[in-house]
Homo-oligomer: A and B are copies of this chain.
Amino acid sequence: MFNPQLNANGELQHLLSLDGLPREILTAILDTAAPFTEVAEREVKKLPILRGKSIFNLFFENSTRTRTTFEIAAKRLSADVINLNISTSSTNKGETLLDTVDNLCAMQADMFVVRHASSGAPYLMADHLRNTGRNDIHVINAGDGRHAHPTQGLLDMYTIRHFKHDFSNLVVAVVGDVLHSRVARSQIAALTTLGVPEVRVIGPKTLLPTGLDKMGCRVFHDMRAGLKDVDVVMMLRLQNERMNGPLLPSAQEFFKVWGLTAEKLALAKADAIVMHPGPMNRGVEIDSEVADGAQAVILPQVTFGIAVRMAVMSMLGRS
């Protein structure tokens, strides 16, 4: 069966989504990332792996934080990075997405890191590259609409493996606004693929999508019941635009019911870890006591995020 993310040899050609990515590829990325975590400890944090390659950060939607992580990862691999904030540029001039891609390819781009408000935009780019025979150019999805944010999902898996070593005996809970979260989609796909036996999804009915059971998740509308004896708590960010919106009473109300406090966390296993994709809304989806507490691995997630992005880029640069 055709997989748009793999090349003819079954190697990673584009990173578009964790949904549909074979377990061996997922594991290969995590394995490749491991030595990169040590690069950061060196005096000179640079490897020549992508020297002379041109990587374009195509941000059709502004995200300083995500753009920065990719920029650092690319520079540590010695690539040339060109940042394009396209929201105010060519698309204004009436150029289509694919014309922009064609132009940047003509400038001998090697890799595109794409953030786009429309779900599927990175797929469209990857299709176009394949249809026009440019198999030496790679696309990394840095977040498309509500669809996927695969490098976030990968760094989450790296973090879980780092602290829990083995996926095959874990209970993992994803908590919060799953409905609007591209991060949650990527997490659930990866957890399932990597063999986590129990993936729980916890949130209010208004903020959970339908079909979670078909994705193999157990759904909880009661946070305390859902957190019982879990190994990993993956909190989601509540988007500012949701607060005080029609689906929610208020940020304060949300915190009361769905915010992760020490008291609620005590229901999980004693050695449970707490994750968050950032940026955090302290006092909304997570209490500061937990965010800064001994079980939080939120900052290690960020560190592993650089290594995971270096891994993806180096694998694509090779294929």
Chain A residues packing against B (C-beta within 8 Å):
40, 42-46, 51-54, 62, 64-65, 68-69, 71-72, 75-76, 80, 82, 84-86, 88-90, 93-96, 99-100, 102-108, 240, 278-282, 284, 299-303, 305-306
Contacts and interface: CB of A to CB of B under 8 A. Distances in A.
Contacts of A43: 52
Contacts of A240: 93-94
A259 to B, nearest CB: 14
A129 to B, nearest CB: 13
Contacts of A69: 107
Q: Which one of A64, A88, A299 has the highest number of Cβ atoms from chain B below 10 Å of its Cβ? A: A64
B62 A88 contact: yes
Given A46-B52, A52-B44, A82-B72, A103 B64 contact: no
B52 A42 contact: yes
B102 A90 contact: no
A51 B46 CA distance: 8
A254 to B, nearest CB: 13
Nearest to A71: B82
A52 B46 CA distance: 5
A106 B80 CA distance: 23
Given A89-B62, A108-B306, A45 B54 contact: yes
A241 to B, nearest CB: 11
B108 A40 contact: yes
A80 B76 CA distance: 8
A84 B68 contact: yes
A189 B44 CA distance: 36
A51 B44 contact: yes
Contacts of A104: 68
Contacts of A103: 65, 278-279, 299, 302
A285 to B, nearest CB: 11
Nearest to A81: B75
Nearest to A80: B75
Contact of A279 (B62, B90, B303): B90
